[in-house]
Amino acid sequence: MPRKWSALAPAIAIGLWLWPFLYRIFGIPDAPFFLKHLGLLIGVFTFFTSSERKFNELTGFRWFILQGLSAWVGLEMIRGFIPVLGTMGFAANPLAGQSWLIQPVSIFSIYGLNLLIVLFNFALAQLIMHWIDGKWSFEGIVPVDGQATRRWALGTTLAVVIWVSISLVIYNQVPEGTQTIRVAALHMDLDMPGHQVDDAVLAERMQLLTHQTREAAEQGAEVIYVPEMAFGFDPQEQYTDELQALTAETDTYVYFTYALEDETGWHNETVMISPSGEFSPVYGKLHAFGEPPTVTAGIFPVNETPYGKLGSIICMDGVFTDAARNLSRNGAQIMAIPTYNTTVGISEQNWTHFVFRAVENQVPVVNADKGFYSMITDTHGKILADVSTPEGANEIVIADVTLSSGNSIYTLLGDWLGWISLAGFVFFMIFQNVVEKRAKKAERN
């Protein structure tokens, strides 16, 4: 490919990967153009800014793979801090359903799996370039070093074998001495958030909650979870007696999730109500998108119960890695992630994020949604029970889960490979500039 068009390759690759993916998520009728076509815009931006071809030719493609790895995953690390994106569109996400393959994420983070995927692709690309160099000769084209290509191919194969081996060992481990409890995610068909409906609708939702809680308790559920923003009032100020009576009657712990705005600010929160009627400390949503910041955000309470240590984050918190990690560091043995998914596209992707939060921290996850998709996973991210109703429905998802037995290496170290990749990205930006300046100076001399 001519040098001036060489940026077209990464632009097409990134555009074809992100455009349909992000359009499915954000392509609602009233969304702004830039949000609907964010993936396309990223591809166009890549075309006009990509300049690796010259650097790779100047260095004999010595850094082709390392630079590619650090650039791709380093940019993913940056995207991990952007409120609208988080871990959306990561290379690893399509593997969420392959529990047997993704377990080393509990050591190396999701960025480690991203690195492995990108390494495989770049090593394959270098093999293809070396094969092309052997078949045809192009004037002015710097060939790829054959010995280096073979070393990278061997190293990549070894990395894949080690990854799969570690994954199978972790996946087949059976936790010892940990408790099993039965949990229920209430899948509630809600047409509007709780703070946007009137008192009559809230009363109907209370009736639905009462019915579903009783039904879940009859099926043996001990802890019950409600979707994000299902209600529009503070349960410690309204319907308090009714909720306390319900948990006492059913002998269950209920995570009640609600949204409201008062004189102190915006509250998108969840609170646990015990069978004795006690209210736990409130958790406030950390990562707000399309809503104001929650005034109680930043605290990650973990609640001691006879069934284990319970905790919850909310919706977009599960798209980022930090909230789940902080909750796990505080000792949570089961993690709730209630959601209020507004499109089918979002619900199609959110479960992949929640699976990775489960695997990273080796903690089971309960996701109760407002009518699209709800699920329960084990500590390995394997889906134990789920329900999918794109048209909306009232269902109950129940499963027996074995509680987490302790922090994973990832929980302790965090996104360490993401930070290393980001450092590599910065290094190669500087190094590329130095190499190109030296080349220009040599040309002048």
Q: What is the spatial distance between Cα 270 and Cα 312, in angstroms, rounded to a whole number? A: 8
All structural domains of the chain: 51-173+416-444 (no CATH), 180-404 (3.60.110.10)
Query: What integer pLDDT is reported at residue 361 of this predicted model?
Result: 97
Alpha-carbon distance of 76 to 112, in angstroms, equals 11
In degrees, rounded to 5, the angle at the alpha carbon of residue 109 between the alpha carbons of residues 374 and 21 is 50
* Structure confidence at residue 4 (pLDDT): 67
Q: How much helix, strand and coil, in percent to the nearest 5, is found in the chain?
A: 50, 15, 35
Provide the 3-class DSSP secondary structure of residue 197.
Answer: coil
CA dist., res. 228 & res. 267, Å (int) = 11
* Residue 18 confidence (pLDDT): 79
User: Among 97, 93, 184, 185, which Cα is nearest to 371's?
Assistant: 185
Look at residue 27 in the predicted model and tell me its pLDDT: 67
How much is the pLDDT for 356?
Answer: 98
Each residue's pLDDT tens digit, 233-261: 999 999 999 999 999 999 999 999 999 99
3-state secondary structure the chain: CCHHHCCHHHHHHHHHHHHHHHHHHHCCCCCCHHHHCHHHHHHHHHHHHCCHHHHHHHCCCCCHHHHHHHHHHHHHHHHCCCCCCCCCCCCCHHHCCCCCCCCCHHHHHHHHHHHHHHHHHHHHHHHHHHHHHHHCCCCCCCCCCHHHHHHHHHHHHHHHHHHHHHHHHHHCCCCCCCCEEEEEEEECCCCCCHHHCCHHHHHHHHHHHHHHHHHHHHCCCCEEECCCCCECCCCCCCCHHHHHHHHHHHCCEEEEEEEEEECCEEEEEEEEECCCCCECCCEECCCCCCCCCECCECCCCCEEECCEEEEECCHHHHHCCHHHHHHHHCCCCEEECCCCCCCHHHHHHHHHHHHHHHHHHCCCEEECCCCCEEEEECCCCCEEEEEECCCCCCEEEEEEEECCCCCCHHHHHCCHHHHHHHHHHHHHHHHHHHHHHHHHHHHHC
Amino acid code (one letter) for 160 = V
Q: With the CA atoms of 85, 87, 91 and 94 taken in that order, what torsion angle do they form, in degrees rounded to the nearest 10?
A: -100
Hey, what amino acid is at 3? Answer: R
Six-digit token pair at 330?
């505080």
d(CA 177, CA 62): 51
Residue 323 CB-half CA count within 13 A: 28
pLDDT of amino acid 253: 99
391 Cβ partners below 8 Å, 6+ apart? none
Cα separation, 48 vs 5, in Å, equals: 10
- Supply the DSSP symbol for 316: G
Q: What is the mean pLDDT of the chain?
A: 92
* Cα gap 296→253, rounded to integer Å: 22
For every one of its 445 residues, what pLDDT tens digit does the chain have, with 9 covering 90 and above? 566 667 787 788 778 877 887 787 776 667 777 777 888 888 888 877 777 788 888 888 899 999 999 999 999 999 999 887 899 889 999 999 999 999 999 999 999 999 999 999 999 999 998 998 888 877 767 888 889 999 999 999 999 999 999 999 999 987 666 789 999 999 999 999 999 999 999 999 999 999 999 999 999 999 999 999 999 999 999 999 999 999 999 999 999 999 999 999 999 999 999 999 999 999 999 999 889 999 999 999 999 999 999 999 999 999 999 999 999 999 999 999 999 988 777 777 889 999 999 999 999 999 999 988 999 999 999 999 999 998 889 999 999 999 988 889 999 999 999 999 999 999 999 999 999 899 888 888 7
The whole-model pTM stands at 0.92
The residue length of the chain stands at 445
